[in-house]
Chain A
Amino acid sequence: EAGVAQSPRYKIIEKRQSVAFWCNPISGHATLYWYQQILGQGPKLLIQFQNNGVVDDSQLPKDRFSAERLKGVDSTLKIQPAKLEDSAVYLCASSLSAGALGTQYFGPGTRLLVL
Chain B
Amino acid sequence: AQTVTQSQPEMSVQEAETVTLSCTYDTSENNYYLFWYKQPPSRQMILVIRQEAYKQQNATENRFSVNFQKAAKSFSLKISDSQLGDTAMYFCAFMKHVEYGNKLVFGAGTILRVKS
Residues of A within 8 A of B (CB): 3, 31, 35, 40-45, 48, 50, 55-56, 89, 91, 93, 95, 98-109
Contact = CB atoms under 8 A, between A and B. Distances in A.
Interface of B: 4, 33, 42-47, 50, 91, 93, 95-104, 106-109
26 contacts: A31-B102, A40-B108, A41-B109, A42-B4, A42-B91, A42-B108, A43-B45, A45-B103, A50-B100, A56-B103, A89-B43, A91-B45, A93-B45, A98-B101, A98-B102, A99-B102, A100-B97, A101-B33, A103-B47, A104-B47, A104-B104, A105-B47, A106-B45, A108-B42, A108-B44, A109-B44
A92 B16 CA distance: 34
A55 B104 contact: no
A73 B105 CA distance: 24
A48 B108 CA distance: 21
Contacts of A99: 99-100, 102
B interface majority secondary structure? loop
Contact of A100 (B42, B47, B96): B96
A44 B105 CA distance: 7
Contacts of B99: 98-99
Contacts of A44: 106
Contacts of B93: 42
Given A100-B33, A103-B47, A108-B42, A42 B102 contact: no
Of listed A31, A43, A102, residue having the most chain B CB within 10 A: A43
Contacts of A41: 108-109
